[in-house]
Amino acid sequence: MEFTAATIAGFLKGEIVGDPDIKVNTIAKIEEGQSGALSFLANPKYEHYIYDTKSSIVLVNKSFVPSGGINATLIRVENSYEAFASLLRLVDQARPRKKGIHATAIIEATAKIGTDVFIGPYAYIGENCIIGNGCSIYPHVYVGDNTKLGNNCIINPGVTIYHDCLLGAGCVVHAGTVIGSDGFGFAPQSDNEFMKIPQLGNVILEDNVEIGSNVTIDRATMGSTIIRKGVKLDNLIQIAHNVEVGENSVMAAQTGISGSTKVGKNCMFGGQVGLAGHLRIANGTKIGAQGGILGDVKEENTAILGSPAIEVKQFLRSSVIFRKLPEMKIKIDSLEKEIESLKKK
């Protein structure tokens, strides 16, 4: 597809600096720009690339003041990163979408399939399932009995959704993810063996949830494991039974949340964050990468780091001391020797 600067500026309500008729047909990083490409500049540390980029059009913030000559046509917008994301979404939506049900797909007679649906090769749709309008179910997807998908869901190849799960409208689940597998519930017995506790609940994804690749979301022992609307989960995340993740929270790869923990709204977790079970995490909590959370976070909009995690400023002060520990140890050993010498005298 090809767009002029005037068309793009009109869509973004931006201001053109340069040639309004110049055309682009691809996108590129600003440092890898080429003729016919659209790029953006949001982070100031990449500014030096804009003066040499070969990209034809660059989106910039209205506040950007160049310190040299620029060959590219600029489109000034309020937020160049958000504007670029909007354009990518527009291009993605313009791509042709597959439709129809492949001959090798297996759909049980009691399942209800909406209109304008794609179901790919070797997909399985179980008994009493409901597949909403406009859904795309790619090859080798398994949808268990009594599961419901809202309108316009995208279920990518190799996803497994166990029985009785509920997905809202506009959910996206990426390849290899498992939704609704058994929670890790075992009761210790007198003979030191473990008896499996049946996991009789389900998983609920509310509207516009996006789940990355190879994520596991366990079904509840009783009730539901709930991922609230607008949540975005990265790849390789583990959500245990009866967890609840509040709306519009985001989590980076390899985060793990233990059973029955409740995460508030608008939280942000870095990579490899780990939460113990039965915790309450306040709205707006931000946890840095590899943070280990052993207790409740009660104050909203708190930022914490470390394992066990503590408040950011306290963590940074502590890290300074940690770096000095070797020389402090030498001084302490020296002082102990002096004290012993004084005692002998």
Residues with active-site annotation: 241
Asked if 38 contacts 24 with a C-beta cutoff of 8 angstroms, the reply is yes
Question: What stretches of the chain show up as alpha helix (H) in DSSP?
Answer: 5-12, 47-50, 80-94, 312-344
Residue 295 to residue 252: CA distance in whole angstroms = 20
Residue 32 to residue 49: CA distance in whole angstroms = 9
Residue 33 to residue 39: CA distance in whole angstroms = 7
Residue 22 to residue 5: CA distance in whole angstroms = 6
User: How far, rounded to the nearest angstrom, does the alpha carbon of residue 160 sit from its chain's CA centroid?
Assistant: 19
Residue 50 to residue 157: CA distance in whole angstroms = 39
Name residues whose C-beta falls within 8 Å of residue 225's C-beta, 6 or more positions apart in sequence. 183, 201, 202, 203, 204, 217, 218, 219, 239, 240, 241, 242, 243, 244
Which residue reads 């012993």 in tokens? 340
CA dihedral angle for residue 216, residue 219, residue 225, residue 227, rounded to 10 degrees: 40
SS3 content of the chain, % helix, strand, coil (to 5): 20, 30, 50
